[in-house]
Structure 1
Amino acid sequence: MEWVSMLAVLTTVTSVLCQLVGVEICFRIVRQRSTGDVSAVPFIAFFVSAVVWVKYGLMTDNKNVILTSGQATILQFLYICIYYAYTSQKRFLTGMILIGLIGLVVPFVYVTYFENEADIAVRNLGLYCCFLSVIVYASPLATLTEVVKERSTHSISLPLCFFNFLCAVEWTLYGLAISDQMLTIPNALGVVLGLVQFFLFCFYGCQHKSSKPILG
């Protein structure tokens, strides 16, 4: 239907804008020549999730998923490269990247070599995509302990939380429209996690430390 096509375009545009939030954050890292209190968790979580969603999109022939996830894969890879160039904790980041790569290789090997039933492979990969999407939506809360301890949201990016929430709403509606539970369920949870993050901003305010870049 026409409204489903319009919703697909809207989700694509919003997803692109969400991924572009990282450009501003990376500019801060380059200007300060330091990652400061920026967490690498969202970058790596976004990257792994995007790559797996590309595979799911290819298996289900969903061009909207392929387009948005493919663009996200490229951007997040560039963000990780910039982060790696300026972080003082390269060994720790390398360990996180290796964990992320394992999270990519294992499901790809499974659907390619160990599962002969295409429907089952798609279902199981979709479930894994759901799990990764929830991690992505929750990633800005990686510094939750710091937020509560300092009673400040300076370590959480409000633009990132906003676009994550908007994406979650739109992808939930799109998933419902095309009857794809693998899109609907994780994004519905993303809406809930987005509301939690907004609550933190309402409770602690939007005060940020000017000397630090912000990202949860």
Structure 2
Amino acid sequence: MFLAPVPGSYLVATVNGFGILVEAVYVTLFFIYAPTKAMRAETAIIFGILDVGFLGAAIAATRLALEGEARIDAIGVMCAGLNIIMYASPLSAMKTVVTTKSVEFMPFMLSFFFFLNGGIWAFYALLVRDIFLGVPNGTGFLLGTAQLVLYAIYSNAKPSKNAVNSMEEGTQHEPLIMS
């Protein structure tokens, strides 16, 4: 079976399939509304290499080179690594929050749902005793918690003068959609 290599893992396969659909819609909308052709091209190249090329090569290698339990373990390690990367992606936003002392570039709802998603999946992993789900989602739960703590610390803080100056000099990226 391609979508669920571990027997009984249809819940995880279904949720990940829906996640692929949502990500495809998000990337498509980004390509439609991206401000410049250069940004679209750069994003397309990165998307092609990381999301399509790397994942396709990893799946092909595990399907061709490994059998049985070794294949399941390799796919589990690969998926756990990709999940940890997904949960670690807001680290740059967290750095920006600390640098600017402002939560302008880290939306509360995104942080809250990272926290919630990591927590629910980590709890599920504990129930089914699946280390491949538990490690990345436990990491996501901890990173989501750190985001919420940062949000609480800096939500009413005034941006420092140095952060405002660096934003005016253009070293800080501006959001694509202004609120």
TM range (shorter): 0.7 to 0.9
Structure 1 91/159 Cα, relative in aligned 2: closer, same or farther at 3 Å?
Answer: same
Q: Give the aligned partner of residue 76 of structure 1.
A: 23
Higher relative contact order, chain-length normalized (CA < 8 Å, sep 6+): 1
Conservation of the 8 A alpha-carbon contact between 2:93 and 2:106: yes
Q: Give the aligned partner of residue 163 of structure 1.
A: 113
Q: Secondary structure of the equivalent of 1:59?
A: coil
Q: How do 1:169-184 and structure 2 match up within 5 A?
A: 169-184=119-134
| Distance (whole Å) between structure 2 residues aligned to residue 173 and residue 148 of structure 1 | 30
Q: Secondary structure of the equivalent of 2:103?
A: coil
Conservation of the 8 A alpha-carbon contact between 1:140 and 1:157: no
Q: Give the aligned partner of residue 203 of structure 1.
A: 153
Q: Give the aligned partner of residue 4 of structure 1.
A: none
Give the structure-1-normalised TM-score: 0.66
Letter matched to residue 109 of structure 2: P
Structure 2 residue 72 is the aligned partner of structure 1 residue 110: no
The Cα offsets for residues 118-148 of structure 1, whole Å up to 9 and x where unpaired, read as 1111111111111111111122223334323
Q: Which moved more, 1:172-181 or 1:96-105?
A: 96-105
| Distance (whole Å) between structure 2 residues aligned to residue 58 and residue 90 of structure 1 | 33
| Distance (whole Å) between structure 2 residues aligned to residue 202 and residue 167 of structure 1 | 19
For structure 1, list consecutive stretches of 5 or more residues without a partner in the other structure: 1-53
Conservation of the 8 A alpha-carbon contact between 1:152 and 1:204: yes
Give the structure-2-normalised TM-score: 0.78
Q: How do 1:109-128 and structure 2 match up within 5 A?
A: 109-115=60-66, 117-128=67-78
The Cα offsets for residues 23-56 of structure 1, whole Å up to 9 and x where unpaired, read as xxxxxxxxxxxxxxxxxxxxxxxxxxxxxxx95x
Conservation of the 8 A alpha-carbon contact between 2:122 and 2:138: yes
| Distance (whole Å) between structure 1 residues aligned to residue 45 and residue 106 of structure 2 | 23
Task: Detail structure 1 runs of 4+ shifted over 3 Å in the superposition.
Answer: 211-214
For structure 2, list consecutive stretches of 5 or more residues without a partner in the other structure: 158-174
Q: Give the aligned partner of residue 133 of structure 1.
A: 83
Letter matched to residue 43 of structure 2: L
- 1:191 pairs with one of 131, 134, 141: 141
C-alpha deviation, 1:91, in angstroms: 2.0
Q: Give the aligned partner of residue 60 of structure 1.
A: 6
| Distance (whole Å) between structure 2 residues aligned to residue 144 and residue 167 of structure 1 | 18
Letter matched to residue 130 of structure 2: D
Conservation of the 8 A alpha-carbon contact between 1:154 and 1:206: no
- 1:149 pairs with one of 99, 106, 113: 99
| Distance (whole Å) between structure 1 residues aligned to residue 154 and residue 135 of structure 2 | 29
Q: Give the aligned partner of residue 29 of structure 1.
A: none
Structure whose CA Rg is larger:
2
Percent of aligned pairs sharing the same letter: 24
Q: Give the aligned partner of residue 92 of structure 1.
A: 42
| Distance (whole Å) between structure 2 residues aligned to residue 142 and residue 118 of structure 1 | 39
Kindly tell me the number of residue pairs found equivalent between the two proteins: 156
RMSD of equivalent CA atoms: 2.2
Letter matched to residue 147 of structure 1: V
The structure that is helix-richer by fraction is: 1
C-alpha deviation, 1:195, in angstroms: 1.4
Q: Secondary structure of the equivalent of 1:156?
A: coil
